Chains A and B, each alone.
Chain A
């Protein structure tokens, strides 16, 4: 989730896209990823290289790529939509790509970046989400059995305050800075004119670039990423709610999708009933006279089109009340005996 709007927050979009890219590279398909970007940087008129978002200066790595699918864009990234996605309380007509269709065997990775403070994260410069709301949302997810294990990573200023209030089991959290510290950005690019990445996510990306689907690296290595000498802020983590030992948790448990493949030597012949299925197509009735296309600009027909008759509605309460008042005032002034002159 990237929560920042405006061109100078380019680095937050680059952060989110680099994690997205790593996660896709390690095997998680788009149907299992909900990507929320609060502003469009790639096709922003200020971008000198349209349709690209770079993470390294001198434009080495385009994290936007050619195959990106953003589920929530621009004004759709709000606190309400984020919490609805997490808890599953979504309006019924929402398409599948915008839902978090997880169950009690799913491991969920949540990565959030933007501007934040002590106990809150700012969404699009107009609203905030507090750490209490986030903790309650995770508790709702736990009660509804929407996750098996959850890894929460946040890269904002004073990020550690966001995971202080968690109280649901099986949550592991990482943050880029402690309470009272700011997360700093990595390097500006003079061609694009903005800072490209935040330090913590930059080093996390470098760490993830070395992971492949079969690697056995565990969470303790992730905790060591970006020490204070490189990051200037002190990254923090919280594992007390997590049941397993971080030593035994593989990175690919959350970042990758490793499937068990069983090889079978049985063969199945498929071409038995194909012809039968095809020929079951219902016979169509042909029209008796040729169908025709509509005329695009039938001037005569339009000019003589009768305007739609507005349905007559009986006068509403206000109008009736007004008329009653007028009539009462009239008869009060002139007396009831004048009524026979009216009728």
Chain B
């Protein structure tokens, strides 16, 4: 009796919440977190980084997924159909000045950058790469269809996968950069349409094109990668991160005072949250410099204060949780304002541990030299850095002129991979692992020669010059403060971008400036000139010779004499006899 009752109870318990639990399980399959990070930069500008992260606990590779909720269908079908493991696409206008602004949370090179890891099941990676760039060019209204073998490289040591990876066979990786790509509202519009709430609610209401492009740096990116579903990491989820970084420079360009507010930056304030977001926060970096009292004041008062070790330094953030009911109690809109308590001394600008610079040296239109300077400003720690340079085929590099000089002595790289270019088929690829001694400047120079292109290969504005994409520096920079392993779900999004291996150093990826190089340009009116000249010369010469050779000249006498003579001449003409 009791046994039967117990069994019945068990059955009821098992059957009762069944459909309910399935519903709850299905609902928790995808989640959206959004956050905005406002960090004042040492030069008086302010950087705003938006991150929208959709996590989906599903396996896109297996089984036909037909129900898309928060994860955008365009990208989901792309990942499933082409066997993409990781996708990183960034569209950037401007350049992040590491020397003056500090280490970026996530930097991207000027123009368009696309790098993709494919699944090991993909047989023809080049074909999948070409299709992927075409589909993405349609989704993002960018000219990504110009990505082909002449600007794609296969790095061998940089760009390791940022998500879960079983092995790293670099034949599945492709990297391409289009430095000439322009970023404007037509790229922002489809990017905003991928967000679950669009630009109608939540943090995305601040994304208005007229303010975002009136800045000195604007970078929007899409990152798709597989991540651990939970701490035990026995299953994977797909993560889509959409990031947008913009640096407003009203102060340093002399257009305004140093006080900032959301309304001043975006001409909008936050009014409500996205109902689909499980977390929606605004972080303001109020870290004190030089360990003194804080000189930055935020209003309205934040809901909480968060401390974290970010990029090797201890930082303090004022947090506004948009989902907490107390925030919108007093006023319907949230306008975060930053005010400086005392004027900042310009001499105390901190210098980042790693920064780099690249320029073209030389004169004339035949040869030149690419120089890269890498600075390690750490007082006592040395660390390695991988430099990846991809130079188009029409700048022929001379590898025997490659020199790396640190502190006056030659510095031999521990690993070097050079793939020479093939004309019109492949660009140059140079990857080096260089050890940077403490407190040093490393100068890397390589000479090149400019090639003459065929006249149909020049773009419509060849006198503008040709761009060389930014070189990539990947390094493990030693951190000032040790970083503890934190739970990815609890910490802010900007700390969980790169998977951290140990607490003593953090991974950073920097990009140098793109270069603009003039190639010897022919005069495009020459074919027309040559045709005109040749035809004129031929016509004049040949015509004259033809006339001289084929025409006979005879003198014609004027006719004189009276009527009889003329009549006689007429009769003689009829007879065929020469006239009188």
Could you tell me the distance in whole angstroms from the C-beta of B110 to the nearest C-beta in chain A? Answer: 12
Question: Is the CB–CB distance between A43 and B137 below 8 Å?
Answer: no
Say yes or no: is B460 at the interface (Cβ < 8 Å to chain A): yes
Beta-carbon contacts of A139-177 to B below 8 Å, as 1s and 0s? 000000000000000000000000000000000000000
Bound-complex Cα distance A213 to B388 (A):
56
Say yes or no: is B210 at the interface (Cβ < 8 Å to chain A): yes
Question: Is the CB–CB distance between A50 and B139 below 8 Å?
Answer: no
Question: Is the CB–CB distance between B22 and A93 below 8 Å?
Answer: no
Say yes or no: is A200 at the interface (Cβ < 8 Å to chain B): no
Say yes or no: is B527 at the interface (Cβ < 8 Å to chain A): no
Bound-complex Cα distance A279 to B25 (A):
10
Question: Is the CB–CB distance between A291 and B63 below 8 Å?
Answer: no
Bound-complex Cα distance A295 to B386 (A):
14
Question: Is the CB–CB distance between A124 and B182 below 8 Å?
Answer: no
**Known: A66-B189, A93-B130. Contact between A299 and B184, CB under 8 A?**
no
Bound-complex Cα distance A303 to B143 (A):
37
Bound-complex Cα distance A65 to B210 (A):
9
The residues of B that contact A303 with a CB separation of less than 8 Å are 414-415, 433
B340-398: which residues lie under 8 A (CB-CB) from chain A?
384, 386
Say yes or no: is A126 at the interface (Cβ < 8 Å to chain B): yes
Scoring A74, A94, A98, A292 by chain B CB atoms within 10 A of each residue's CB, the highest score goes to A74
Bound-complex Cα distance A296 to B415 (A):
16
Say yes or no: is B233 at the interface (Cβ < 8 Å to chain A): yes
Identify which of B157-165, B289-297, B529-537 touches chain A. B157-165
Say yes or no: is B228 at the interface (Cβ < 8 Å to chain A): yes
Question: Is the CB–CB distance between B190 and A69 below 8 Å?
Answer: yes
B41-89: which residues lie under 8 A (CB-CB) from chain A?
58-59, 62-63, 66-67
Contact pick for B476, options A98, A293, A296, CB 8 Å: A296
A29-77: which residues lie under 8 A (CB-CB) from chain B?
40, 42-43, 49-52, 64-71, 73-76
B489-515: which residues lie under 8 A (CB-CB) from chain A?
498-499, 501, 507
Question: Is the CB–CB distance between B460 and A293 below 8 Å?
Answer: no
Bound-complex Cα distance A297 to B19 (A):
47
Question: Is the CB–CB distance between A297 and B474 below 8 Å?
Answer: yes
**Known: A126-B524, A296-B476. Contact between A68 and B185, CB under 8 A?**
yes
Say yes or no: is B16 at the interface (Cβ < 8 Å to chain A): no
Question: Is the CB–CB distance between A295 and B160 below 8 Å?
Answer: yes
Question: Is the CB–CB distance between B59 and A74 below 8 Å?
Answer: no
Bound-complex Cα distance A109 to B186 (A):
22
Contact pick for A68, options B58, B164, B189, CB 8 Å: B189
Beta-carbon contacts of B134-154 to A below 8 Å, as 1s and 0s? 110111011101100000000
The residues of A that contact B234 with a CB separation of less than 8 Å are 286-287, 290-291
Question: Is the CB–CB distance between B165 and A294 below 8 Å?
Answer: yes
Question: Is the CB–CB distance between B138 and A42 below 8 Å?
Answer: no
Say yes or no: is B168 at the interface (Cβ < 8 Å to chain A): yes
Beta-carbon contacts of A243-281 to B below 8 Å, as 1s and 0s? 000000000000000000000000000000001011101
Question: Is the CB–CB distance between B186 and A73 below 8 Å?
Answer: yes
Bound-complex Cα distance A307 to B459 (A):
37
Bound-complex Cα distance A155 to B473 (A):
49
A61-112: which residues lie under 8 A (CB-CB) from chain B?
64-71, 73-76, 93-98
Question: Is the CB–CB distance between B183 and A43 below 8 Å?
Answer: yes
The residues of A that contact B223 with a CB separation of less than 8 Å are none
Say yes or no: is A5 at the interface (Cβ < 8 Å to chain B): yes
The residues of A that contact B168 with a CB separation of less than 8 Å are 294
Bound-complex Cα distance A299 to B209 (A):
42
Question: Is the CB–CB distance between A291 and B228 below 8 Å?
Answer: yes
The residues of A that contact B146 with a CB separation of less than 8 Å are 75-76
Question: Is the CB–CB distance between B134 and A278 below 8 Å?
Answer: no
Question: Is the CB–CB distance between A98 and B138 below 8 Å?
Answer: yes
Question: Is the CB–CB distance between A75 and B186 below 8 Å?
Answer: no
Could you tell me the distance in whole angstroms from the C-beta of A337 to the nearest C-beta in chain B? Answer: 45
**Known: A75-B459, A279-B22, A299-B433. Contact between A52 and B210, CB under 8 A?**
yes
Question: Is the CB–CB distance between A302 and B138 below 8 Å?
Answer: no
The residues of A that contact B162 with a CB separation of less than 8 Å are 293-294, 296
Question: Is the CB–CB distance between A40 and B384 below 8 Å?
Answer: no
Could you tell me the distance in whole angstroms from the C-beta of A115 to the nearest C-beta in chain B? Answer: 13
Contact pick for B182, options A65, A71, A73, A294, CB 8 Å: A73
The residues of A that contact B175 with a CB separation of less than 8 Å are none
Contact pick for B23, options A126, A275, A302, CB 8 Å: A275
Question: Is the CB–CB distance between A302 and B386 below 8 Å?
Answer: yes
Question: Is the CB–CB distance between A124 and B460 below 8 Å?
Answer: yes
Say yes or no: is A209 at the interface (Cβ < 8 Å to chain B): no
Bound-complex Cα distance A164 to B23 (A):
66
B79-111: which residues lie under 8 A (CB-CB) from chain A?
93
Bound-complex Cα distance A93 to B162 (A):
28
Bound-complex Cα distance A68 to B186 (A):
5
Q: Which residue of chain B has the shortest Cβ distance to A97 in the bound complex? A: B138
Q: Which residue of chain B has the shortest Cβ distance to A62 in the bound complex? A: B210
A283-327: which residues lie under 8 A (CB-CB) from chain B?
284, 286-287, 290-299, 302-303, 305, 307-308
Question: Is the CB–CB distance between B182 and A43 below 8 Å?
Answer: yes
Could you tell me the distance in whole angstroms from the C-beta of A29 to the nearest C-beta in chain B? Answer: 13
Beta-carbon contacts of A110-141 to B below 8 Å, as 1s and 0s? 00000000000000111000000000000000
Question: For chain B, which range describes its interface: under 10, 10 to 19, 20 to 34, or 35 or more residues?
Answer: 35 or more
Q: Which residue of chain A has the shortest Cβ distance to B138 in the bound complex? A: A95
Say yes or no: is A6 at the interface (Cβ < 8 Å to chain B): yes
Beta-carbon contacts of A188-200 to B below 8 Å, as 1s and 0s? 0000000000000
Question: Is the CB–CB distance between B131 and A287 below 8 Å?
Answer: no
Say yes or no: is A282 at the interface (Cβ < 8 Å to chain B): yes
The residues of A that contact B143 with a CB separation of less than 8 Å are 73-76
Question: Is the CB–CB distance between A69 and B186 below 8 Å?
Answer: yes
Bound-complex Cα distance A71 to B19 (A):
46
Could you tell me the distance in whole angstroms from the C-beta of A312 to the nearest C-beta in chain B? Answer: 17
Say yes or no: is B518 at the interface (Cβ < 8 Å to chain A): no
Bound-complex Cα distance A73 to B524 (A):
23
Bound-complex Cα distance A260 to B141 (A):
31
The residues of B that contact A43 with a CB separation of less than 8 Å are 93, 182-185, 213
Question: Is the CB–CB distance between A5 and B461 below 8 Å?
Answer: yes
Question: Is the CB–CB distance between A95 and B165 below 8 Å?
Answer: no
Question: Is the CB–CB distance between A66 and B185 below 8 Å?
Answer: yes
Question: Is the CB–CB distance between B182 and A70 below 8 Å?
Answer: no
Say yes or no: is B329 at the interface (Cβ < 8 Å to chain A): no
The residues of A that contact B498 with a CB separation of less than 8 Å are 296
Question: Is the CB–CB distance between A67 and B189 below 8 Å?
Answer: yes
Bound-complex Cα distance A10 to B472 (A):
36
Scoring A40, A284, A295, A302 by chain B CB atoms within 10 A of each residue's CB, the highest score goes to A302
Contact pick for B186, options A70, A126, A299, CB 8 Å: A70
The residues of A that contact B23 with a CB separation of less than 8 Å are 275, 278
The residues of B that contact A305 with a CB separation of less than 8 Å are 156-157, 415
Could you tell me the distance in whole angstroms from the C-beta of A276 to the nearest C-beta in chain B? Answer: 10
Bound-complex Cα distance A299 to B528 (A):
58
Question: Is the CB–CB distance between A277 and B131 below 8 Å?
Answer: no
Bound-complex Cα distance A6 to B460 (A):
10
The residues of B that contact A277 with a CB separation of less than 8 Å are 66-67
**Known: A51-B212, A296-B499. Contact between A40 and B164, CB under 8 A?**
no
Question: Is the CB–CB distance between A125 and B156 below 8 Å?
Answer: no
Bound-complex Cα distance A147 to B460 (A):
32
Scoring A66, A98, A287 by chain B CB atoms within 10 A of each residue's CB, the highest score goes to A66
Question: Is the CB–CB distance between A69 and B137 below 8 Å?
Answer: no
Say yes or no: is B436 at the interface (Cβ < 8 Å to chain A): no
Could you tell me the distance in whole angstroms from the C-beta of B177 to the nearest C-beta in chain A? Answer: 16
Say yes or no: is B331 at the interface (Cβ < 8 Å to chain A): no
Say yes or no: is B214 at the interface (Cβ < 8 Å to chain A): yes
Question: Is the CB–CB distance between B417 and A307 below 8 Å?
Answer: yes
With A68-B189, A95-B138 known, 6 other A-B pairs at CB within 8 A are: A67-B189, A71-B141, A76-B146, A282-B63, A293-B165, A302-B386
Interface residues of A (CB under 8 A from B): 5-6, 40, 42-43, 49-52, 64-71, 73-76, 93-98, 124-126, 275, 277-279, 281-282, 284, 286-287, 290-299, 302-303, 305, 307-308
Q: Would you list the 5 A-B pairs with minimal beta carbon distance, nearest first?
A: A95-B138, A293-B499, A43-B184, A290-B233, A51-B213
Ordered by A's residue number, 6 sampled pairs between the chains whose C-beta atoms are within 8 Å are: A278-B26, A279-B26, A282-B63, A290-B232, A293-B163, A302-B433
